[in-house]
Structure 1
Amino acid sequence: MSDYQSLKSLYTTSPAFAPLVPVGLLPYLAFALLFLTFILAFYVSTLPKATVPIRETAVSSVASLLGGFGVVALFCTVGVYV
């Protein structure tokens, strides 16, 4: 029972959650990240085919990361907090 009391007191005295990225900045961040994703996807589609696709893999990985974070920012913008 003492664990419950100590956790309850810790909960009541801890500060409220504050996001690192302001909520008002999320729509602009989502737009920028998704725009960069589409630009990089277009760039990858115009690259000449190579025998060892190191550059294609690197650019595609960056585009995938930007797209993932852009979709999460877009979801958080509309109120679906993931």
Structure 2
Amino acid sequence: MNFKPLGKRVLVEREEELNKTASGIIIPDNASKEKPSTGKVVAVGCDDECKAVKVGDKVVFGKYSGSEVNIDDKKYLVLNLEDVLGVIA
């Protein structure tokens, strides 16, 4: 992939939700489910100002944050740095 976000933005790949409960019950794909609000940072736009996040970090972001984009037949999310709520260690 050859994409670099501009300004104070990051490119995030959403994590897929597990389709199985803790007790082993399989949830069908057609069941209504929300999009996950966690993902992995794929690219960072700004250099000095974005030291809080780096490529490979797992982040939490707001439910309705960002803009979805398709790159190389994969869905990504472009987020403003302010929309990132935190980094999961």
Instruction: Give the TM-score range, shorter chain.
Output: under 0.3
Specify which structure has the higher proportion of helix.
1
Specify which structure has the higher proportion of strand.
2
TM-score by length of 2: 0.23
**1 or 2 for the larger relative contact order (CA 8 Å, sep ≥6)?**
1
TM-score by length of 1: 0.24
